[in-house]
Amino acid sequence: MTAMTQDFKDLRILGIESSCDDTAAAIVSRQMGVAKINSSVVMGQGQLHAAFGGVVPEIAARAHAERIDLCVEQALSDAEVELTDVDAIAVTAGPGLIGGVVSGVMCAKGLSAATGLPLIGVNHLAGHALTPRLTDGLVYPYLMLLVSGGHCQFLIVDGPTAFTRIGGTIDDAPGEAFDKTARLLGLSQPGGPHVEEAAKDGDASRFTLPRPLLDRPGCDMSFSGLKTALLRARDSVVSEKDGLTPQDQADLSAAFQRAVAEILTRKSQRAIEVYLAKKPAVPGFAVAGGVAANQEIRQALMALCKSKGLTFTAPPLALCTDNAAMIAYAGLELFDTGHRDDLTLSARPRWPLDTASAPLFGSGKKGPKA
Ligand code: KG4
Ligand code: ZN
């Protein structure tokens, strides 16, 4: 994975990520202005949490603490470098499940104290938001839709620390809604891919589901009412037939997916208007997060961008979902700005990217929203 960046000095950054249910470490380097992922190790915890229907913070924290050193060792060995070959250590310092974030920050501080290497605390959301620069060399300012199990927001990205949040969910994240839908329909977790698969054989018009907040101005979104409407639609089928047929599952999945795609696309249209008012030289739209893997959503956003004259970027799935390469890359851009942290760096459960925007209420399945 390569991308042209500005002509800055050669660098090699170790990235560490542990804010949710993936323990990850990566090495990202830049040589002659080209950024490259040398290694990216992700140790998922899906199996540890499967029986609980969601991420259990205490189990996650313990698993991070047990695996993080192994993960760092693996990332160094995969990249065929030693810790002494690294220029700085970048670590997710929030937002996220605090026990996990503390594990990562403690590991990074230990490595920094032992080696004297600079320490850089990275906002996890900045990692997601800067990924299109690593993968596709997107130029600032671009519009970003971050859409996953824990996040959903529109950001105008002007620089590694310059984010303007122009809207987002006021309740659940779409990934949470996909997961809940899968549970309601008797499909496996994580729900998104299974709902998408089921929807392939479905008729999206058989059930009428709401599109909350579309009648209101602005770029804010809501998904909890959609979840409830799906529950009612399912219950009415179940009470009629005493169960769901595969066709019912398919039709409900298709109706749900169509509703999410429409909400995201219509609100993206508004976000694009706000963004274009900035008159960007090269207008660009990027999407990241697990839900960005959904083909119907991706195609709808791509078509919208085409019609509005914006480039459309969706990083490969492994870099859309949680990983440490994005943290290393964000650390690299922060390093360029002269940003350095010290051993007083603390873990932050909440850390909004745009500190000027109003705080959000509610907490996603995968931790507090920011
Ligand atoms: O970004 P991610 O891996 O983790 C965080 O939430 O940070 O996103 C996971 C979410 C899950 O809720 C999952 O159901 C959803 O992304 N997802 C999808 C698809 N693949 C994953 N949702 C819709 N369609 C998909 N194909
Ligand atoms: Zn994430």
Q: What is the b/e burial string over 251-282, where b = at least 16 CB atoms within 10 angstroms of the residue's CB?
A: bbbbbbbbbbbbbbbbbbebbbebbeeeebee
SS3 call for 10: coil
Residue 7's pLDDT is 56
Residue 190's pLDDT is 84
**Nearest ligand to the CA atom of 46:** 1
What are the average pLDDT values for consecutive 10-residue runs of the chain, which has 370 residues?
59 95 94 94 83 79 89 98 97 93 96 97 95 95 93 95 95 94 91 96 96 92 94 95 94 98 97 96 93 94 97 92 96 96 94 75 42
- Two structure tokens written together for 272: 């694009």
Candidate from 291, 320, 326, 366 with most ligand 1 atoms within 8 A of CB, to mutate: 291
Q: Are 262 and 143 in contact (CB under 8 A)?
A: no
Residue 259's pLDDT is 97
Query: Where do the domains of the chain lie, and which CATH numbers do they carry?
Result: 2-137+322-368 (3.30.420.40), 142-317 (3.30.420.40)
- d(CA 251, CA 201) in angstroms, rounded, equals 8
Residue 360's pLDDT is 55
Residue 51's pLDDT is 74
Query: Is any ligand 1 atom within 6 A of the Cβ of residue 193?
Result: yes
pTM listed for this prediction: 0.90
What does residue 289 show for φ and ψ, rounded to 5 degrees? 105, 160
Query: Is any ligand 1 atom within 6 A of the Cβ of residue 178?
Result: yes
Q: Are 255 and 202 in contact (CB under 8 A)?
A: yes
Residue 150's pLDDT is 83
